[in-house]
């Protein structure tokens, strides 16, 4: 069915529609029933034929008014024609051939009648073949990403699928390409000696030689996808010139992006909506503007969208520049603008106002002229809407903002679209002119490159128009000169590069060099000015920013919605693609590939675990039968232990057996376990007879409760039992289990009681302050190790404790003591601080120092989860002490959650480590401890401050003070300090005046340097921690701590009492060395430093050494120097917060000497 | 009339997603785009990625110049400016249906991110720029870190023997003494076809974003390491001073141009903070 002309016209852009109208009128005149592709071509030929014998004259005569469509086809034909015949002859032949072809078409009787009657009949409808061509070009154009946004803008929101497709306006170029595929048309061309493929190629390009590199074909598709295999010449064209850019100078042009910039400018100009006037911003903007001017002057239309072909460019750059200096009279500008108005007919003209900097710089009196000019341009833009563009450029954003501030709302009035230009043409690439050695250096890929050369030979025949560039150049030059003469009667008004273009032949090699020189000069100027404006107009741009964003925002909005529907399909497809082994898995599973694979495998294993277990259920149920009675006993025992007289504990042998049975259960499942199990068996056979001399290693292997500290009489009974059970085990696991559990239940009491007692006592020996916590921790561990615990489907030997409350050091000390007591040696202790931040915040604090050094070296280039895994793998049976669990990163959180649930700790690569023998102790500085620390608010020392105390340099100096002063000062002290005062040594909260300011400044810095942005107010960054993260973490913490076996509460340390006892020691030393005449006042910070050192030490020995060696030495030196015996003096011990001690005293993190002033 | 219109777009989007190896992983609702820099591919984020899977939907893709992308798709005449890379990024995000996202860009991708945020201000909630520089060449008072002659020498070296250049450049860029990171960077760097590698370097060195930094409206976080062979500290300060949006500077104590490879733990920490701190 033929389509009505109006429907077909709706699918076409202006030029193409004009071509169709021409075709319709031809069809009408000939009284044809339908309008076909032949009519379209014939109409185009007719409109261009008159000019062909003398194209230059033709163009000169009607200038911009001539239909651009005929230029497009005419140009293409002139380039594609065979050189054998004269042009005139060939064009005549072409007209003839099409005329003949048209004559063959059937005519419509009704139309013929109408024509004969002299009236205009009905428009002959569009034939199916022509409509198909239109559809084809529509589809091709839709696929082209560069024009895609146009169509999306045209789509009415909610317009439905059908209308969205019809929104594509076919450009003439695409229409011609599609029509050339029509067999009728190509036959007619063939009759006249043309090859339609050649014509296609000519329509797509190629531009004149100098400008051919940037953007050979405007419609070059994204990844060549919008041309079918039949249109392969496009690929050929690309590969032939551009695939291997090095050996020629083309690379230089190629990588500077000049053509790309022009194309983008063209894109903006071709927009149908607002914001179609480009404003180039960026260091390369001036260059880009010049490139664009060249493109337009040389009519290198291939770079520009088809609807812009034939466009004119008028520059008033010079006038604008003269406005600022006051040298230009307004009249001249007015004349130029009038000209503009005349030129602004089809297809339109661009007014180039040039560099905004000149406009902005103008003096006060030329502001009037300038705003006059601006309003005149605004008026013109309104009058010639759609046919007049304005463009300008600015090297910096600031200049543009300044311009806008002078002319508010101008970006709206003019419909400006900012276009960032970031590529700068440089002198780079000189080295490329020498022959490339790259190919030799990279042999494996060498095969890529020769093809580029080979193709040249093959396609040179197809691409014969290359050799006819001279013709084009001639035409170009003619046109340029014509444009010049039309544009301005006087050359003086033209930009300087136009003069050059006029004088220098386009083919002249030196032209490029000269242009380059100009550019460098220009660049230098731009840089200078840019700098200037950076300084000047920073204050302006915040206010103005808002106004210009709306445009961009609108565009962004219109682009989005239609894509969203595609998302799902794109995603699912992405997941299905079988070719790439990375994607399918990565899509489904929220882990990176390598991790993902292993995860799947491991998960599979885990899932199969319950079913494998089933055959062994007999064993388990047996065991379960035994347990209940034991559980009762345990409860009783713990009740007793709480009362404090008798520390009872269940069997260690049972727990050994638990481990062994676990081993058997896992044996068929996991090789790793199997290995451990076999090792155990091996050891068992070897050592079953000599248990008392068991190595520490063995003890670790076989469970924590076989303590080294067991008293000798227990040891005598122990071997008997164990030997028996172990030998049984080595023979037959199942039976051994049954028997040994019976045996152990008999002997358990005696053995465990003292073991537990010794555990507790050794713990309490090691932790002087947190006895209750230590006992609670021991109980929890013993309970876990003896109790029957099941997490999920498997029996577990790992223990998870949470230590909460204050006393960071105490918690660690208890954990270390546990490690030493349970595993026998101190080394089975892994301590990791999960908060990276703390190390950074207080890098040199005394309490953190040991950790920071250790962590820092090991963590380098490593994730925390991997660090833990590495440490764990080194010591499978150990106490793992994790500090600041609430600060754990996501990966560690995941690993920990998995570990506590499954008994296997995964590292970041998904490798899992069995943790059956480990005891995890978790601490956090989070909310749990808060109620504890609050209780001691009145204390003069807070744990925070002491934790933050660093190894500052200390100094001691004499403050001669009369009796009265001393008394009054003493009376202001707290009563507790008065008491200390009697001992002649006391702590002062008074800060020294001299260091006060310094200190507060210092503190401000240390708090903010966590965020390292000194320019932001501290509360800004600190105040707005994202809630979602902390919420997530908090939720995880709650979850995680809910799974823990036991929670142990720690009491806050009484630092006051601690300080008192230290002061007593100092007092003793002071009295014996200085005498009672003097008073030693220890400043708060110094005391905190000493406290921190004392706190982090296991015993006071090293501290006392420090008192004796460092403090006493300085005191005696001081006494010698000032002869202190005479009067009452106050000596002050002060910490210098701004300097860190160079050397530490041996064994304690305190300065090795005290400065005496 | 309306046949196949959405199919075309889908096909195009699919094709691009396939070509650039786009992946979208993670369970969160906020979208995080990780865009790798010159000489690496998306695998550079492997060590960082797991930390963000719970809270973000993470988009990973390869730049068209990466070694993991079929070099046939690198059209020399198309990728002459960074704008073409921006086209790709925006097309990928559109094809995925992302309408707002956090963007982490390293090195050249930081530049791409800046340009993308200028073009589509609403699409980017925040830019996190790692090892970013608006201009690598020195220019008057501006200290970009490279003299033109130096870059020419580098290019000559790349041309002369690419493999040797990679062997020398990788440890220099990684900076810190982390052999695994050097190995990884060498691998991805060597994966790039040398002509593409050289071409991209030229494009990057020819780019100058200084004039347009003010156009960025999204808040930015500039992550700068203590010692970056490609980016002097003054550049980070320049970015902070000139970027249009509210900009924060994060200094990493670790060294090198590729902190996500050489110091993932601290990088993740800073990145987390950068993403979550509201400004």
Sorted by where each begins, the domain ranges of chain A are 5-49+68-148+168-204, 257-420, 755-927, 1055-1156
**For residues A1091-1115, average pLDDT:** 79
Tens-place pLDDT, residues A1024-1040: 444 455 566 778 888 88
The confidence score (pLDDT) of residue A787 equals 65
Residue of B43, B186, B230, B257 with catalytic role: B257
| Cβ atoms of A929 and A1093 closer than 8 Å | no
Q: Taking the mean position of all CA atoms in its chain, how far away is CA A585?
A: 22
Q: Taking the mean position of all CA atoms in its chain, how far away is CA A298?
A: 43
The confidence score (pLDDT) of residue A545 equals 40
Are A563 and B199 a contacting pair at CB < 8 A?
no
Whole-angstrom distance, CA of residue A612 vs CA of residue B189: 48
Write down the CATH number for the domain with range A755-927.
3.40.50.300
- According to DSSP, the residues that pair with B105 across neighbouring strands are B35, B129
Q: Which of B18, B77, B263 sits opposite A577 (nearest CB)?
A: B18
CA distance B9 to chain A (A): 7
**For residues A193-217, average pLDDT:** 55
Q: Which residues of A touch B44 (CB under 8 A)?
A: none
In the predicted structure, residue B3 carries a pLDDT above the cut 90: no
**For residues A1105-1113, average pLDDT:** 81
Residue of B35, B43, B107, B262 with catalytic role: B107
Tens-place pLDDT, residues A960-983: 654 433 333 333 333 344 334 444
- Residue A280 has which token pair? 């180039």
- Closest residue in B to A559 (Cα) is B94
Test the B interface: residue of A207, A523, A592, A888 with most B CBs within 10 Å: A592
In the predicted structure, residue A2 carries a pLDDT above the cut 60: yes
In the predicted structure, residue A895 carries a pLDDT above the cut 90: no
Q: Which residues of B touch A396 (CB under 8 A)?
A: 210-211, 214
Report strand pairing: A794-795 vs A790-791.
antiparallel
In the predicted structure, residue B275 carries a pLDDT above the cut 80: yes
- Residue A60 has which token pair? 């000169």
Are A423 and B25 a contacting pair at CB < 8 A?
no
Tens-place pLDDT, residues A314-364: 888 777 777 666 655 666 667 777 776 676 666 788 888 888 887 777 666
**For residues A1108-1121, average pLDDT:** 79
Q: Sheet holding B23-25: strands in order across?
A: B23-25, B56-61, B30-35, B101-106, B124-130, B220-227, B247-255
CA distance B226 to chain A (A): 12
The confidence score (pLDDT) of residue A691 equals 35
Domain A5-49+68-148+168-204, what architecture?
A: Orthogonal Bundle (1.10)
The confidence score (pLDDT) of residue B107 equals 92
In the predicted structure, residue A794 carries a pLDDT above the cut 60: no
DSSP A1077: T
In the predicted structure, residue B60 carries a pLDDT above the cut 90: yes
Tens-place pLDDT, residues A284-320: 888 888 888 888 888 878 888 888 888 888 888 777 7
- According to DSSP, the residues that pair with A791 across neighbouring strands are A794
- Closest residue in A to B74 (Cα) is A223
Tens-place pLDDT, residues B177-232: 788 889 889 988 888 888 889 999 989 998 999 989 999 999 999 999 988 888 99
Mean pLDDT of chain A: 61
Are B140 and A431 a contacting pair at CB < 8 A?
no
The confidence score (pLDDT) of residue B260 equals 92
Give B6-276's CATH code, choosing from 3.40.50.970, 3.90.1150.10, 3.40.50.1820, 3.40.50.300: 3.40.50.1820
The confidence score (pLDDT) of residue A1043 equals 83
CA distance A243 to chain B (A): 6
Question: Confidence class of residue B128 from pLDDT cuts 50, 70 and 90?
Answer: very high
In the predicted structure, residue A853 carries a pLDDT above the cut 70: no
Tens-place pLDDT, residues A414-468: 888 888 888 776 544 333 333 334 433 333 333 333 333 333 333 333 333 333 3
The closest alpha carbon to A289, from A382, A362, A356, belongs to: A356
In the predicted structure, residue B52 carries a pLDDT above the cut 70: yes
CA distance B96 to chain A (A): 5
**For residues A124-138, average pLDDT:** 81
CB pairs under 8 A between A and B: 358
Question: Confidence class of residue A736 from pLDDT cuts 50, 70 and 90?
Answer: very low
Residue of B41, B88, B228, B254 with catalytic role: B228
Question: Confidence class of residue A33 from pLDDT cuts 50, 70 and 90?
Answer: confident
Whole-angstrom distance, CA of residue B76 vs CA of residue B65: 10
- Closest residue in A to B209 (Cα) is A422
Q: Which residues of B touch A839 (CB under 8 A)?
A: none
End-to-end Cα distance, chain A: 109
CA distance B117 to chain A (A): 10
Is B186 annotated as catalytic? no
Is B72 annotated as catalytic? no
Q: Sheet holding A1129-1140: strands in order across?
A: A985-988, A1079-1083, A1129-1140, A952-960, A1155-1156
The confidence score (pLDDT) of residue A456 equals 35
Q: Which residues of B touch A243 (CB under 8 A)?
A: 76
Are A552 and B119 a contacting pair at CB < 8 A?
yes
| Cβ atoms of A801 and A764 closer than 8 Å | no
The confidence score (pLDDT) of residue A452 equals 34
Whole-angstrom distance, CA of residue A933 vs CA of residue A941: 11
Tens-place pLDDT, residues A636-672: 444 444 443 334 333 333 333 333 333 333 333 334 4
The closest alpha carbon to A106, from A4, A35, A186, A43, belongs to: A35
The closest alpha carbon to A125, from A17, A42, A23, belongs to: A23
- Residue A258 has which token pair? 């000049």
Give A257-420's CATH code, choosing from 3.40.50.300, 3.40.50.2000, 3.30.499.10, 3.40.140.10: 3.40.50.300
Whole-angstrom distance, CA of residue A843 vs CA of residue A858: 16
The confidence score (pLDDT) of residue A1062 equals 83
Residue, of A873 and A628, whose pLDDT is higher: A873
Are B1 and A162 a contacting pair at CB < 8 A?
yes
The confidence score (pLDDT) of residue A116 equals 54
Are B159 and A436 a contacting pair at CB < 8 A?
yes
| Cβ atoms of A272 and A154 closer than 8 Å | yes
Within a 10 A sphere around the Cβ of A919, how many other Cβ atoms?
A: 29
Q: Which residues of A touch B144 (CB under 8 A)?
A: none
In the predicted structure, residue B59 carries a pLDDT above the cut 90: yes
- Closest residue in B to A253 (Cα) is B80
Most confident of A97-106, A128-137, A182-191, B32-41: B32-41
Identical fold between A257-420 and A755-927: yes
The closest alpha carbon to A300, from A609, A77, A81, A506, belongs to: A506
Query: Of A5-19, A473-487, B153-167, which gets the smallest average pLDDT?
Result: A473-487
The confidence score (pLDDT) of residue B187 equals 87
- Residue A432 has which token pair? 């490329």
- Closest residue in B to A144 (Cα) is B12
Q: What is the CA radius of gyration of chain A?
A: 45
**For residues A843-872, average pLDDT:** 62
For residue A1142, give every residue at least 6 positions away whose Cβ sits within 8 Å of its Cβ, in sequence order, or none: A953, A1151, A1152
Question: Confidence class of residue A222 from pLDDT cuts 50, 70 and 90?
Answer: very low
Question: Confidence class of residue A15 from pLDDT cuts 50, 70 and 90?
Answer: confident
**For residues A1087-1104, average pLDDT:** 79
In the predicted structure, residue A801 carries a pLDDT above the cut 60: yes
Query: Of A180-184, B146-150, B166-170, which gets the smallest average pLDDT?
Result: A180-184
Report percent pLDDT > 70 for chain A.
46
* DSSP conformation letters of A801-866: EEEESS-HHHHHHHHHHHHHHHHSSTTSEEEEE--HHHHHHSTTBHHHHHHHHHHHHHHTT--HHH
Whole-angstrom distance, CA of residue A342 vs CA of residue A345: 7
Tens-place pLDDT, residues A531-553: 444 444 443 344 334 334 344 33
The closest alpha carbon to A397, from B219, B212, B207, belongs to: B212
Whole-angstrom distance, CA of residue B205 vs CA of residue B80: 11
């Amino acid at each position: 069915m033929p389509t009505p002309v109006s429907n077909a016209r709706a699918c076409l852009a202006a030029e193409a529609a004009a071509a169709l109208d021409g075709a319709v009128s031809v069809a009408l005149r000939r009284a044809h029933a339908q309008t076909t592709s032949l009519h379209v071509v014939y109409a185009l030929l007719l409109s261009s034929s008159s000019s062909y014998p003398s194209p230059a004259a033709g163009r000169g005569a009607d200038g911009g008014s001539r239909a651009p469509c005929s230029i497009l086809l005419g140009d293409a034909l002139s380039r594609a024609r065979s050189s054998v015949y004269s042009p005139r002859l060939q064009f005549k032949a072409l007209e003839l051939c099409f005329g003949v072809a048209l004559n063959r078409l059937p005519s419509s009787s009704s139309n013929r009648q109408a024509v004969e009657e002299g009236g205009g009949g009905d428009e002959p409808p569009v034939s199916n073949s022509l409509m198909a061509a239109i559809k084809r070009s529509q589809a091709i154009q839709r696929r082209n990403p560069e024009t895609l946004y146009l169509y999306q803008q045209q789509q009415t929101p909610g317009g439905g699928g059908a209308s969205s497709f019809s929104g594509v306006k076919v450009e003439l170029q695409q229409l011609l390409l599609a029509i050339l595929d029509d067999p009728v048309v190509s036959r007619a061309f063939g009759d006249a000696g043309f090859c339609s493929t050649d014509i296609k190629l000519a329509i797509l390009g190629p531009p004149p030689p100098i400008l051919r590199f940037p953007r050979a074909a405007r419609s070059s598709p994204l990844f060549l996808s919008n041309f079918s295999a039949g249109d392969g010449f496009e690929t050929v064209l690309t590969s032939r010139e551009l695939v291997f850019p090095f050996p020629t100078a083309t690379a230089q042009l190629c990588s500077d992006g000049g053509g790309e910039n022009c194309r983008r400018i063209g894109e903006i100009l071709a927009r149908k909506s607002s914001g179609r006037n480009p404003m180039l911003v960026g260091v390369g903007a001036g260059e880009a503007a010049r490139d664009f001017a060249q493109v337009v002057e040389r009519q290198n239309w291939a770079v520009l969208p088809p609807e812009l072909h034939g466009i004119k460019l008028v520059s008033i750059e010079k006038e604008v520049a003269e406005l600022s200096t006051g040298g230009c009279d307004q009249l001249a500008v007015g004349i130029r603008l009038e000209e503009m108005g005349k030129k602004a007919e089809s297809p339109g003209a661009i007014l180039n106002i040039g560099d905004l900097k000149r406009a902005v710089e103008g003096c006060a009196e030329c502001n009037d002229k300038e705003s006059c000019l601006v309003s005149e341009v605004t008026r013109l833009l309104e009058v010639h809407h759609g046919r007049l563009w304005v463009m300008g450029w600015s090297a910096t954003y600031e200049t543009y903002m300044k311009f806008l501030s002078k002319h508010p709302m101008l970006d709206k009035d003019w419909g400006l679209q900012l276009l960032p230009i970031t590529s700068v043409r440089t002198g780079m690439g000189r080295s490329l002119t020498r022959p490339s050695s790259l190919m030799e250096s990279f042999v494996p890929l060498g095969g890529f490159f020769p093809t580029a050369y080979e193709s040249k030979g093959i396609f040179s025949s197809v691409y014969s128009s290359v050799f006819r560039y001279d013709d084009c150049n001639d035409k170009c030059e003619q046109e340029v000169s014509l444009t010049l003469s039309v544009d301005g009667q006087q050359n003086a008004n033209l930009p300087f590069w136009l003069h050059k273009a006029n004088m220098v032949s386009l083919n002249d090699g030196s032209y490029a060099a000269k242009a380059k020189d100009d550019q460098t000069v220009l660049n230098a100027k731009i840089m200078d000015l840019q700098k200037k404006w950076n300084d000047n107009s920073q204050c302006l741009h915040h206010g103005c920013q808002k106004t210009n964003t709306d445009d961009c925002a609108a565009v962004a909005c219109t682009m989005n919605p239609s894509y969203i529907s595609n998302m799902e399909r794109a995603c699912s497809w992405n997941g299905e693609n079988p070719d790439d082994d990375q994607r399918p898995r990565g899509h489904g599973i929220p882990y990176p590939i390598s991790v993902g694979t292993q995860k799947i495998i491991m998960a599979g294993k885990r899932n199969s675990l319950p079913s494998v277990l089933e055959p062994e259920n007999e064993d388990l149920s047996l065991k379960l039968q035994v347990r209940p009675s034991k559980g009762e006993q345990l409860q009783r025992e713990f009740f007793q232990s709480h009362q404090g007289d008798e520390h009872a504990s269940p069997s260690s042998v049972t727990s050994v057996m638990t481990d062994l049975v676990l081993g058997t259960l896992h044996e068929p499942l996991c090789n790793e376990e199997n290995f451990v199990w076999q090792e155990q068996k091996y050891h068992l056979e070897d050592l079953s007879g000599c248990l008392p001399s068991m190595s520490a290693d063995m003890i670790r292997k076989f469970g924590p409760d076989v303590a080294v500290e067991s008293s000798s009489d227990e040891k005598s009974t122990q071997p008997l039992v164990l030997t028996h059970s172990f030998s049984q085990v080595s023979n037959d696991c199942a039976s051994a289990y049954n028997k040994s559990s019976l045996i152990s239940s008999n002997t358990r009491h005696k053995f465990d009681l003292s073991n537990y007692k010794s555990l507790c006592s050794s713990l309490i020996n090691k932790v002087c302050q947190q006895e209750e916590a230590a006992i609670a921790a021991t109980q929890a561990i013993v309970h876990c190790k003896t109790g029957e615990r099941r997490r999920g489907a498997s029996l577990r030997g790992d223990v998870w404790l949470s230590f909460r409350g204050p006393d960071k050091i105490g918690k660690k000390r208890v954990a270390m003591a546990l490690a030493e007591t349970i595993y026998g040696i101190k080394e089975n202790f892994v301590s990791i601080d999960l908060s990276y931040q703390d190390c950074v915040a207080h890098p040199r604090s005394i309490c953190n120092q040991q950790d920071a050094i250790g962590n820092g070296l090991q963590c380098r280039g490593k994730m925390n989860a991997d660090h833990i895994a590495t440490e764990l793998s080194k010591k499978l049976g150990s106490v793992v002490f994790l500090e600041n669990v609430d600060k754990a990163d996501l990966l560690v959180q995941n690993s920990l959650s998995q570990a506590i649930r499954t008994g296997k700790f995964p590292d970041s690569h998904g490798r899992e480590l069995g943790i059956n023998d480990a005891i995890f102790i978790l601490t956090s500085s989070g909310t749990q401890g808060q109620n504890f620390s609050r209780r001691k608010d009145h204390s003069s020392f807070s744990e925070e401050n002491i934790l933050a105390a660093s190894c500052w340099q200390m100094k001691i100096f004499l403050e001669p003070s009369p009796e009265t002063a001393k008394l009054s000062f003493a009376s202001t002290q707290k009563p507790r300090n008065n008491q200390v005062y009697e001992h002649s040594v006391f702590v002062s909260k008074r800060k020294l005046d001299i260091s006060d300011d310094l200190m507060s400044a210092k503190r401000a810095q240390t708090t903010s340097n966590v965020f390292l942005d000194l320019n932001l107010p501290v509360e800004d960054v600190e105040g707005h921690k994202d809630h979602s993260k902390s919420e997530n973490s908090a939720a995880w913490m709650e979850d995680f701590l809910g799974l823990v076996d036991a929670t142990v509460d720690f009491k806050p340390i009484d630092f006051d009492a601690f300080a008192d006892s230290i002061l007593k020691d100092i007092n003793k030393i002071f009295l014996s060395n200085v005498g009672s005449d003097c008073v030693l006042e220890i400043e708060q910070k110094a005391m905190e430093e000493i406290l921190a050192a004392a706190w982090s030490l296991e015993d006071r020995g090293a501290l006392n050494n420090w008192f004796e060696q460092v403090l006493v030495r300085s005191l005696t030196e001081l006494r010698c120097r000032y002869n202190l015996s005479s009067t009452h003096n106050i000596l002050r011990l002060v910490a210098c917060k701004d300097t860190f001690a160079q050397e530490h005293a041996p064994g304690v993190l305190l300065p090795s000497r005290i400065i005496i002033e | 009339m309306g046949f196949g219109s959405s199919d075309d777009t889908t096909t195009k989007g699919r094709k691009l997603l396939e070509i650039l190896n786009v992946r979208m992983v993670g369970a969160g609702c906020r979208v995080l785009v990780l865009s790798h820099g010159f000489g690496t591919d998306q695998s550079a984020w492997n060590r960082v990625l797991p930390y963000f899977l719970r809270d973000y939907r993470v988009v990973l893709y390869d730049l068209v110049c990466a070694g993991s992308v079929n070099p046939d798709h690198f059209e020399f005449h198309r990728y002459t400016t960074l704008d073409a890379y921006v086209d790709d990024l925006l097309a990928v995000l559109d094809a995925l249906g992302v309408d707002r996202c956090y963007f982490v860009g390293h090195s050249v991708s930081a530049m791409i991110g800046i340009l993308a945020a200028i073009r589509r201000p609403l699409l980017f909630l925040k830019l996190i720029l790692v090892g970013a520089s608006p201009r690598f060449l020195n220019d008057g008072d501006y200290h970009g870190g490279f003299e033109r002659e130096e870059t020419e020498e580098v290019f000559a070296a790349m041309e002369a023997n690419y493999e040797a250049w990679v062997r020398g450049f990788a440890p220099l860029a990684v900076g810190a003494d982390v052999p695994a990171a050097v190995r990884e960077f060498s691998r991805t760097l060597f994966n790039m076809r040398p002509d593409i590698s050289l071409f991209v370097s030229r494009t990057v060195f020819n780019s100058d974003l200084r004039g347009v930094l003010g156009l960025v409206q999204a808040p930015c976080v500039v992550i700068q390491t203590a010692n970056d062979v490609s980016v002097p500290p003054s550049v980070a300060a320049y970015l902070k001073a000139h970027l249009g949006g509210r900009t924060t500077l994060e200094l990493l104590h670790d060294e090198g141009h590729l902190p996500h490879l050489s110091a993932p733990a601290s990088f993740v920490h800073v990145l987390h903070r950068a993403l979550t701190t509201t400004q």
